[in-house]
Amino acid sequence: MLLNIVVLQDDCIITSGKKCLTIPGFFRPTKMWDSMVIYKGRLVACFELKSQVGSFGNNFNNRTEESIGSATDFWTAHKEKAFNLSNYLKPEQLVSITVESKPPFLGYLMLLEDCRDSTTPVKVEEEHFKVFPYFRESSYSKRYQLLCEKLVLEGLYSSACLILSNQINGKDDGSYSSPTNSLSPRSFFADFAGRLLSVLETY
């Protein structure tokens, strides 16, 4: 709905195709994102879409490391001009190369199973040093909330969204919740729409 409001052409929105969703990295040759927006040769946005059902103890650290590593790789590649117009492989699609590109929008969305195991506080291991106090007696849903908030606070992602959904109710009627308004889908896509409007005005 938001994309229709800002009138972005369909061929600018990439949601499928391994090759089409792949762009250069810095610490690795390439990275395939879950969706992208490319407009007039400019990389406007990339989205990382993740989910977790069960196995919370095994997977939370993996998801954390993935999100930090992917963002670090992305922004370093951006700094090293991997996404500059001069590096674009389809120059025939360029209308103008006189305007400098804005930094891309990098979005992170996590869908987490809403269940007892994800919402019950769990202990942390403290053998040599104390962990930060907000991690004590925190559930995995709380830890994901903290992760999303910190990813944005530290500038690794432009915006983040955390959705909790029960397997039964989510399947039946699509019901979900977010721990805070700032991590809701509405806020997430409002952030993206604002960046998109700025891009269309500039380019």
Q: Report pLDDT for 7.
A: 62
Q: What is the pLDDT of residue 45?
A: 97
Whole-number pLDDT of residue 87? 85
Question: Which residue stretches of the chain have pLDDT < 70?
Answer: 1-7, 91-100
The whole-number pLDDT of residue 3 equals 43
Domain boundaries, the chain: 2-202
Answering whether pTM is above 0.85, one says: yes
What is the model's pLDDT at position 58?
78
The DSSP bridge partners found for residue 39 are 42
